[in-house]
Amino acid sequence: MNKIITPSTEIIIPEREKFAPGWHLDIENERYHKSDGTSSSQLKTLIEHTPAHLAYGLTHHNEPTANMALGTSVHSLVLEPDKFDDDIAVQPSILKKPTSAQVNAANPSDKTLVQIEAWNDFQKQCAGKTLITEEQYEKAQKMAARVWEEPALALLLEDTIVESSIYGWYRSMDRDDGTEYKQMLKVRPDAIPRGYPLLIDLKTCAEGSYSGFHRAMQNFYYHLSAAMYMQMCNQCQPLLDNLKIHAFTKFVFICIENTAPYEVSSYEISAKYLEIGNSLFRQAVYRLHRAKKDNFPGYEQLRVLEPPSYADKGFIV
């Protein structure tokens, strides 16, 4: 019999700042990520991982990876260049982070003391900012410039609402869904162009080709995010009223490759892909409901491992 491993003690998720359901234009990025409400990234954890993994993410802080920091920098340069210096700190190449051995040395040299002091001063100056190297900064500039070299994308991004936040209670779009539970959700579209009924998501990626981005879509469940973003935005009447539209009907990904020549591609997600994304979205919200009710359990134990359909197709005699 399968047994789900439930923690013996109740998992306490720290209280987070709450915002009223609706459209918010003045919430900083860091404040948004620390606020109450479940994001698409958190929901996607429940597709391939356990509620225990989600609980760990909600109770522990993870430092951004180099690729994440690069992506944040490109977002800023493309969508909010005026705020770049407020959000991003570029580490000078001559400034080196001291090693743990240098910090813990009983008798550090004068040179080491200067290095430690310089690093500490820099850390204070860039507190709360995303830290990148000069090399990453140069790369981010080239990547951002490539987006604006594409006439259609430049026109689309010419007049946009950037990094606004939408909060709202989960509401199924399926009339046959008798959902009786409530979950506070949140989304933060990269860009909402005025004059077009669509949402834009900017992605930095290793490969922007059709097949390459298709793999990324499947691996990272971008279609779940797109479906969630469209549903949340379409139930936010103040946003629709401001744009003078009845509903958002399209979701577009702008993909920028993170290696030279930094080619750019763009894709509109199809209705069929959105339908699959909506199904995954509903499943994930239900799993979130169960996760909270069952105290964020871990893996089931002693499961029978069955072969996938392709398991016997790798041999040619």
Distances (CA, A) of 30 to 83, 130, 162, 184, 204: 14, 10, 15, 18, 20
Confirm if 10 and 296 have CB atoms less than 8 A apart: no
pLDDT greater than 60 at residue 63: yes
Q: What share of the chain is helix, strand, coil (3-state, %, to 5)?
A: 45, 15, 40
Mean pLDDT confidence for 245-270: 96
pLDDT greater than 60 at residue 317: no
Cα of first residue to Cα of last residue in the chain, in angstroms, is: 39
Of the pLDDT bands very low, low, confident and very high (cuts 50, 70, 90), residue 280 is very high
> For all residues of the chain together, what is the average pLDDT?
89
Distances (CA, A) of 32 to 69, 113, 297: 17, 37, 27
pLDDT greater than 50 at residue 1: no
- Topology annotation, domain 16-63+135-299: Lambda Exonuclease; Chain A (3.90.320)
pLDDT at 9: 77
Mean pLDDT confidence for 184-204: 96
Burial class of residue 9, CB neighbours in 10 A (0-12, 13-18, 19+): exposed
- In one letter, which amino acid is 287? R
Of the pLDDT bands very low, low, confident and very high (cuts 50, 70, 90), residue 77 is very high
How is residue 116 written in tokens?
Answer: 């430690």
For residue 38, what is the DSSP state? B
Within 10 angstroms of residue 165's Cβ, the number of other Cβ atoms is: 21
pLDDT at 313: 73
Mean pLDDT confidence for 9-33: 91
- Predicted confidence (pLDDT) per residue in 142-152, tens digit: 999 999 999 99
Mean pLDDT confidence for 86-104: 79
Of the pLDDT bands very low, low, confident and very high (cuts 50, 70, 90), residue 114 is confident
Distance CA 98, CA 108 (A): 11
Of the pLDDT bands very low, low, confident and very high (cuts 50, 70, 90), residue 37 is very high
